[in-house]
Amino acid sequence: MAHAHNHGHDFHHEHGSELSEMQLRTRAIETILLEKGYIEQAAIDELIETYEKKIGPRNGAQVVAKAWVDPKFRKWLLEDGTAAIGSLGFGGRSGNHLVALENTPLLHNMVVCTLCSCYPWAVLGLPPLWYKSAPYRSRAVADPRGVLKDFGIELPKDTEIRVWDSTAELRYMVVPMRPAGTEGWSEEKLADLVTRDSMIGTGFPKSPKDLK
Amino acid sequence: MNGAADMGGMHGFGPVVPEKNEPVFHEEWEGHSFALNIVTGVANLWNIDAFRFKRESLPPPEYLNLSYYGLWTRTLELMMLEYGIATPEELKAGHAIAPFKQAPRAVTAADCDNMVRCARPFSRPAPGPALFKVGDKVRAKNMHPKHHTRLPRYTRGHVGEIARIVGCHVFPDSNASNLGEDPHWLYTVRFDGHELWGADSDPKVRVCIEAWEPYLEKP
Amino acid sequence: MNGGHDIGGMDGFGPVQPEPNEPVFHSQWEKRAFALTLAAGVAGGWNIDMSRFARENRPPNEYLTMSYYQIWFAALEAMLKERALVSDDEIAAGQTLKAPKPVSCILKADDVARVLYHGDPTERETKTKPAFKAGDRVRAKMMNPVTHTRLPRYVRGHLGTIDRVIGCHVFPDSNAAGAGENPQWLYTVRFDGGELWGADADPSVTVSVDAWEPYLLPA
């Protein structure tokens, strides 16, 4: 049924004649499940709406911003991530075994799922394609410094890079270091600095000048 | 199983290529593929470990060449066939073919909303005391089961340290083959990069995984 | 490199499917791909280790989808282009577009029988002594070069026994990288199936590989 194409770096996208094939096959599954009474259409629509529009990295940014301003919350977050994010209304699917990882000047954390695409949906939404693709999955655990170069990042040689391979149902989010020049900022303004990639470990938060 | 999904440490896939302003779904059908996978879980048609096992069982050329959501659709097809939810003729025709049994209950939007917000955790009551404690050195077993496992090949045989006792969790190796949840103690194990990749590798890399007790032994 | 070719121990490929009365070549183009590779090798001046690396050195999803001679041909194109013997324009046009780069040697029809008979012996003289002898216990190194190597991933880190001291042979890891023949002592190393595949493996199985000295450590 599925046939292989030489897509080069683009192999993870469907396009051309394959697009209608996957569309039809997906629709076939949906139609059968609807007709046999396993699912309601509204359930499908609700799920798509939820993850397209409602749950995303903004959740995680709020968590990080709060950890930056509130030392008690930060401590709680690092000790019991699930409970701490739960206090902000986040949790549930891919978020009920949440562990927060603290970046320091000597330790940089990176999160991957080499075996599939496990990702902390509750705080980051659905993962980007690069996270789920072979280059990241294969290289993050063996050559994280090389992967960071693909993101334009170079860390000092004596910084430990700790890579977390999500092999069970624990889901990880990185708490990046707070950017300089943000003293006295509100949580909401700080949250604007927190990028999704900084919470995966393949980026840094924006700096104040990036927001101007 | 040692399938194509177990790709930690492989070379040749090229650079990581992030896409600017990437949409959540690149095509409408992808959103549907995603949602269908979730609802079939809410409907309890099969468990998530069985789904992962089916996906990683795809022949490596197929696994490596399907798009991400193409994998999900393909796996959904195979699961529906295996669990008797659909026949090959129905999948080909694109609709149910009478006569068929009606499902006892349809998953609603409210069911999904509820699951998204308060999904059931994977932790379970402990069957007994944990074998290892934080700081213990452990060796990831050199195991090559044909069934589903979550011990990546790149760790097998290597010595690491218990960084954390997570708790008792559903054991995927059993659950994926519908042999029961069989909960076991789950640990975070930390490995030095040199141990995994050799003396020439970056000395400042460490890799952590979660590993269930049956994956581990005293070194 | 840990490429798509290093598949010892992988699952999911399905049963071995021998073809009754299989022809030597399945199509005309395969014959030409085969012959071109050998003939062009003389003109191109590359060695067999470079050829092998050129075959391995592609995204694993492509490697695993291409047919045997498709891989040979892709590697041939890559090596010809690397050495500026043929350009992308010429390949697209299907004809020579500029003056050929001079080479020191080409394969003439009259030479073929002699060249094939002579073969490509890899044994070299040496004044060094082998580090190991038959019966010694050795450990295959934990190494993960991104360049060519002939130590398969499935033996790395495992304990085996020297079965035989073969001799001093061209070292592929150096030769493929254009760093010279750098001949090293070569051994047959035998591993128990249980050592490689775990406690549940067939106890009657052993696997031998031929491994150069730089791949091995005393046990």
Q: Closest partner residue to B142 among C11, C59, C198, by Cβ?
A: C198
pLDDT in the model for residue A185: 97
Domain ranges of chain C: 28-118, 137-218
Q: Active-site residue A113, yes or no? A: yes
Kindly report the CATH class assigned to C28-118: mainly alpha
Element (H, E) at C137: strand C137-140
Chains touching chain C through at least 3 C-beta pairs below 8 angstroms are A, B
pLDDT in the model for residue A9: 41
| Best residue in C1, C52, C57, C64 for a mutation probing chain B (most B CBs within 10 Å) | C64
- Any A CB within 8 A of C21 CB: no
Residue A93: C-alpha distances to residues A47, A97, A98 (Å): 12, 9, 10
Inter-chain CB proximity B76 and A29 less than 8 Å = yes
Tell me the whole-structure pTM to 2 decimals. Answer: 0.92
Burial-class residue B65 by CB neighbours within 10 Å (0-12, 13-18, 19+): buried
Residue of A nearest to B204 (CA): A160
For residue A128, the tally of other CB atoms under 10 A from its CB is 21
Q: Active-site residue A117, yes or no? A: yes
* Chain C residues in contact with B153 (beta carbon < 8 A): 9, 153
Q: Which of A135, A113, A139 is nearest to A126 (CA)?
A: A113
For residue B2, the tally of other CB atoms under 10 A from its CB is 21
B198: its two tokens: 């050799």
Is cis: bond before B99, omega within 30 of 0? yes
| Residue A15 clears pLDDT 60, i.e. is over it | no
Distance CA C1, CA C145 (A): 5
Compute, in degrees rounded to 10, the torsion defined by CA atoms B32, B34, B37, B42: -90
Model confidence band, residue A7 (pLDDT cutoffs 50, 70, 90): very low
Model confidence band, residue A67 (pLDDT cutoffs 50, 70, 90): very high
Distance CA A75, CA B30 (A): 39
- Any C CB within 8 A of B142 CB: yes
- Cβ atoms of A163 and A114 within 8 Å: the answer is no
Domains along chain B with CATH numbers = 28-118 (1.10.472.20), 137-217 (2.30.30.50)
A185: its two tokens: 């900022």
Distance from CA of B209 to the nearest CA of A (A): 5
- Any A CB within 8 A of C147 CB: no
- Any A CB within 8 A of C126 CB: no
Show Cβ contacts of residue B60 under 8 Å, excluding neighbours closer than 6 positions: B3, B4, C7, C10, C12, C13, C64
DSSP, res C176: H
Compute, in degrees rounded to 10, the torsion defined by CA atoms A176, A177, A182, A185: 50
- CATH topology (fold) of A56-211: Nitrile Hydratase; Chain A (3.90.330)
CA atoms within 13 A of residue C97's CA, in its CB half-sphere: 10
DSSP, res B104: S
B218: its two tokens: 């005293």
Each residue's pLDDT tens digit in chain B (219 positions)? 999 999 999 999 999 999 999 999 999 999 999 999 999 999 999 999 999 999 999 999 999 999 999 999 999 999 999 999 999 999 999 999 999 999 999 999 999 999 999 888 999 999 899 999 999 999 999 999 999 999 999 999 999 999 999 999 999 999 999 999 999 999 999 999 999 999 999 999 999 999 999 999 999
The three-state secondary structure class of A183 is: coil
Residue of A nearest to B29 (CA): A23
Inter-chain CB proximity A4 and C65 less than 8 Å = yes
List pLDDT tens digits, range A34-63: 999 999 999 999 999 999 999 999 999 999
* Chain B residues in contact with A27 (beta carbon < 8 A): 29, 32, 94
Inter-chain CB proximity A8 and C59 less than 8 Å = yes
- Cβ atoms of C53 and B11 within 8 Å: the answer is no
Angle among Cα A112, B199, A140 to the nearest 5 degrees reads 15
Distance CA A61, CA C114 (A): 71
Q: Closest partner residue to B8 among A24, A32, A141, by Cβ?
A: A141
Q: Which of A192, A132, A166 is nearest to A12 (CA)?
A: A132
Inter-chain CB proximity A6 and C62 less than 8 Å = yes
| Residue C174 clears pLDDT 90, i.e. is over it | yes
| Residue A8 clears pLDDT 70, i.e. is over it | no
| Best residue in B55, B63, B144, B216 for a mutation probing chain C (most C CBs within 10 Å) | B144
List pLDDT tens digits, range C36-72: 999 999 999 999 999 999 999 999 999 999 999 999 9
Question: Which CATH code is given to the segment(s) C137-218?
Answer: 2.30.30.50
Give ranges for CATH 3.90.330.10 in chain A.
56-211
- Cβ atoms of B176 and B147 within 8 Å: the answer is yes
State mean pLDDT over A11-19.
Answer: 54
pLDDT above 70 coverage of chain A, percent: 91
CB neighbour burial string for C184-219, b if at least 16 within 10 angstroms, e if fewer:
bbbbbbebbeebbbeeebeeeebbebebbbbbbeee
- Any A CB within 8 A of B154 CB: yes
Distance from CA of C110 to the nearest CA of B (A): 40
CA C79 to chain centre: 15
| Residue A3 clears pLDDT 80, i.e. is over it | no
Q: Which residues, in sequence order, are bridge partners of residue B190?
A: B161, B208
Please report which residue ranges of chain A form alpha helices under DSSP H. Answer: 17-35, 41-49, 57-69, 71-79, 81-86, 121-124, 129-132, 134-139, 144-150, 187-191, 196-200, 208-211
Inter-chain CB proximity A4 and C59 less than 8 Å = no
Angle among Cα A15, A20, A22 to the nearest 5 degrees reads 85
- Cβ atoms of B86 and A32 within 8 Å: the answer is yes
B120: its two tokens: 């059931």
- For chain C, the distance separating the N- and C-terminal CA atoms, rounded to the nearest angstrom, is 24
Chains touching chain A through at least 3 C-beta pairs below 8 angstroms are B, C
| Residue A18 clears pLDDT 80, i.e. is over it | no
Distance CA B88, CA B83 (A): 12
- Cβ atoms of B143 and C194 within 8 Å: the answer is no
Model confidence band, residue A76 (pLDDT cutoffs 50, 70, 90): very high
Distance from CA of B57 to the nearest CA of C (A): 6
Distance from CA of A184 to the nearest CA of B (A): 30
Distance from CA of A178 to the nearest CA of C (A): 36
In chain B, % helix, strand, coil (3-state, to 5) comes to 35, 15, 50
Residue of C nearest to B153 (CA): C154
| Residue C164 clears pLDDT 80, i.e. is over it | yes
pLDDT above 70 coverage of chain C, percent: 100
Inter-chain CB proximity A134 and C144 less than 8 Å = no
| Residue A13 clears pLDDT 70, i.e. is over it | no
Q: Closest partner residue to B59 among C13, C143, C196, by Cβ?
A: C13
pLDDT in the model for residue C203: 87
Say which of A20, A87, A116, A138 is annotated catalytic: A116
Q: What is the ipTM of this complex?
A: 0.93
* Chain C residues in contact with A132 (beta carbon < 8 A): none
| Residue A6 clears pLDDT 70, i.e. is over it | no
Please report which residue ranges of A140-186 form alpha helices under DSSP H. Answer: 144-150
* Chain A residues in contact with C59 (beta carbon < 8 A): 8, 11, 134
CA B171 to chain centre: 11
* Chain B residues in contact with A114 (beta carbon < 8 A): 6-8, 152, 154
A123: its two tokens: 């705080």
- Cβ atoms of A123 and A90 within 8 Å: the answer is yes
Inter-chain CB proximity A6 and C144 less than 8 Å = no
